[in-house]
Homo-oligomer: A and B are copies of this chain.
């Protein structure tokens, strides 16, 4: 039965082979957990900067911003040293946006698993690479999602990276909480919103989430801000303008800038060619590059910022 297959799939996703373990040990589960924790620490210690991209509401462009951030940093002398973790287990979009649909995680000797390599040597890990087809949903509750995210971090051979960008699903539930727990030395979060008031209400929760978990907030990006008709030049505020800046001011967090609604972004995402490459001289790319500079500046100066505390909610 289909639903039973789904349950089985969760077992298949136990990425790390258990063949090397000794089954007759009494405290096997505890030891395995401790070993995984060690592997996770070791893997993450090889990645200099870790940045999560979060939002309150969905559909505000987190994945688009994540892949374009990765491309922007890879272009600045970090080819082959940038990674993207697509932590949206139910709706993974990163592979589609980087032209990597249909690819699978690559196996190596001794049960090693490698990310898929995308444009400019970007290393990508996504649930999408484990699914048999587009149609296959991941009908999982929180504990299974926590487990697979843990394995993405601990059991994938990410290698030495300068940057890991983590694309999180909307909200403040299992996936964002798991990531913040598993990476206590997260450099910070980039918060994405659209300017509408409805989105503002929800993005406030994302700000409090980061503050409560003691994760530095790099800043807020106002995405889908305004619209200029390409035919007549009229300014039409589809989702309004200024909401991201307002929320940044109200909440005393940095404002990184705004990115306009641009039909080219949608078609570039659909065709798997990030807009920063495909439309490298457009006003959208120009706006985006200014944001990238601010993020780079934050990361260069991050030694001044320490995570205040790392207590968590279960």
Contact = CB atoms under 8 A, between A and B. Distances in A.
Interface of A: 1-3, 6-7, 56-60, 63, 88-93, 96-97, 101, 134-143, 145-146, 169-174, 177, 194, 196-198, 201-202, 204-209, 212-213, 227, 229-232, 234, 236-240, 251, 261, 263, 266-267, 269-270, 311-314
Contacts of A208: 135-137
A137 B172 contact: yes
Contacts of A236: 229-231, 263
Given A206-B137, A238-B266, A270-B240, A170 B313 contact: no
A12 to B, nearest CB: 14
Nearest to A97: B198
Interface-centre pick from A6, A56, A59 (highest chain B CB count, 10 A): A59
A138 B177 CA distance: 11
How many copies make up the complex? 2
A209 B137 contact: yes
B177 A139 contact: yes
B139 A91 contact: no
B234 A263 contact: no
Given A173-B90, A234-B229, A266 B196 contact: yes
Given A205-B135, A263-B236, A269 B96 contact: no
14 contacts: A3-B213, A3-B313, A57-B59, A58-B59, A59-B170, A135-B207, A137-B209, A138-B172, A139-B213, A141-B174, A169-B170, A229-B236, A239-B263, A240-B266
A58 to B, nearest CB: 1
Contacts of A96: 197-198, 201
The 7 closest A-B pairs by CB, nearest first: A59-B59, A58-B58, A142-B142, A90-B171, A231-B234, A137-B205, A232-B232
